[in-house]
Amino acid sequence: MRKARPRSYAIFRKELIQVRRDPRTLALVLIMPVLLLLLYGYGVSTDIRNIPMVVVDQDRSSRSREFVRGFTGSGFFRIQRYGSHPEDIDQALDGGRAKVGLLIPPDFGRKVVRGEMADVFVAVDGSEPNTANSSISYVSTIVSRYSSKVIAKKLQGRVPLEELNPIDLRPRIWYNPELRSINFIVPGLVAIILMMTSALLTSATIARERELGTMEPLIASPLKSWELMLGKIAAYTLISFADIALVLLVGTLWFQVPFRGSVSLLLAMSTIFLLSSLGLGLLVSARSLSQQSAIMFAFLVTMIPGLLLSGFLFPIASMPRPIQLLTYLIPARYFLAIVRGIFLKGIGVSELWPQALPMTILGLFFFVVSIRSFRKEMG
């Protein structure tokens, strides 16, 4: 037992020194997590604001100007230009200079004063469905708010306010009161980055040993196969924890994402998740002849399922039923829910075990399969 420990530690130390001396691997460890966090943090935001808008106000009254101020003051729309004719809306939408067009007819103010139904025309560019749906929702809310204000002014003093609004709705949003999409994205990136970097590093280092011809001396040495794997896995587990710390610091300090849970619980769950990621890297390395092919294959089998099938970008409930069943085989699906629960809700093991149990089973399965495959390759 005493002899096994130093030999595994020697491999552990060798891997850390190799990472430090290899600029490409060092960039993969230190730069890629931050780069991914910045790219997804700023580029994948689902907060749709400042939608470009063109306004054609044919009424030009105080009522119409007040109505338009409801759009400009909301923060959801940015008036790109004011037109004079309805054709200006068509040209702006066709040219992509605006996503929404608002046409206020000449009799708008007069009808509002008389208490008649005033027509308003809104054109929405439907080529981007998410932006279109959000635009329609924002427009409906602004129009409804303006209508309620007009009705309240007309009935002021005649009808009690509680009869105008018989339902007093006071919604309370838990865990993410500001509805910031970055609070949803950053915890998910912990899972994606951890899965990808651990698999890439593990697959690359073993393929590099084979390319440099140093794998055969290691196999011929008194070093046992499990000692070799233990040393490598321990080194890249430590490096993966460094990536987690890096993402946590950037996410909480730069993006101001709240962290309400336990760091020790996050590290414990990350260790379980690493079983599948490191196992996948070993499996890829055992089947790859070169370092380049190992990195590319590991990237494909981690990045694509991690982004598309884990619930990181798209809700699993909205996927077709066969794809939903396939997601149960993706460990990142469970770890994603765990990380977001720890980050935003601060929940503990009692709430997380339904996700932790299948993740542990899948992690052990992938890890055992990869070790058996790697041992067979060494033999």
Residue that has been written with the tokens 């066709």 in this structure: 94
Q: What's the whole-model pTM score?
A: 0.76
Residue 170 lies in a domain: no
Q: What per-residue confidence (pLDDT) applies to 335?
A: 92
**Residue 155 pLDDT greater than 80, yes or no:** no
Q: Domain end: 117, 138, 164, which one?
A: 164
Residue 171 lies in a domain: no
Q: Domain end: 164, 198, 226, which one?
A: 164
Going by their DSSP bridges, the two strands 100-104 and 77-83 should be labelled as unpaired
**In this structure, are 89 and 12 located in the same domain?**
no
Which residues constitute the domain of residue 137?
A: 51-164
**In this structure, are 278 and 372 located in the same domain?**
yes
Residue 172 lies in a domain: no
Q: Which residues of 70-96 are buried (b: 16+ CB within 10 A; e: fewer)?
A: bbeeeebbeebeebeeeebbeebbeee
**In this structure, are 155 and 257 located in the same domain?**
no
**Residue 121 pLDDT greater than 80, yes or no:** yes
Q: Domain end: 164, 197, 213, which one?
A: 164
Q: What per-residue confidence (pLDDT) applies to 158?
A: 62
Q: Average the pLDDT over 344-372 and give the result.
A: 86
Residue 174 lies in a domain: no
Query: Distance from CA of residue 221 to its chain's centroid?
Result: 45
**In this structure, are 304 and 371 located in the same domain?**
yes
Q: Which long-range contacts (CB under 8 A, 24 or more apart) does 207-214 make?
A: 207/285, 207/288, 207/289, 207/290, 207/291, 207/293, 207/294, 207/295, 208/291, 210/289, 211/290, 211/291
DSSP 80: E
**In this structure, are 274 and 236 located in the same domain?**
yes
Q: Which of 68-77, 267-276, 292-301 has the lowest mean pLDDT?
A: 292-301
**CATH of residue 139:** 3.40.1710.10
**In this structure, are 15 and 60 located in the same domain?**
no
**In this structure, are 157 and 187 located in the same domain?**
no
Q: What per-residue confidence (pLDDT) applies to 219?
A: 66
Main-chain dihedrals φ then ψ at residue 171, nearest 5 degrees: -70, 145
Q: Which amino acid is at 122?
A: V
Higher per-residue confidence, 375 vs 354 = 354
Q: Given CA atoms 168, 174, 180, 184 in this order, what sign does their dihedral have?
A: negative
Number of domains making up the chain: 2
Query: Distance from CA of residue 191 to its chain's centroid?
Result: 10
**Residue 54 pLDDT greater than 90, yes or no:** yes
**In this structure, are 242 and 345 located in the same domain?**
yes
The answer to whether the CB of 150 falls within 8 A of the CB of 64 is no
How far, in Å, CA of 282 to CA of 39, rounded?
28
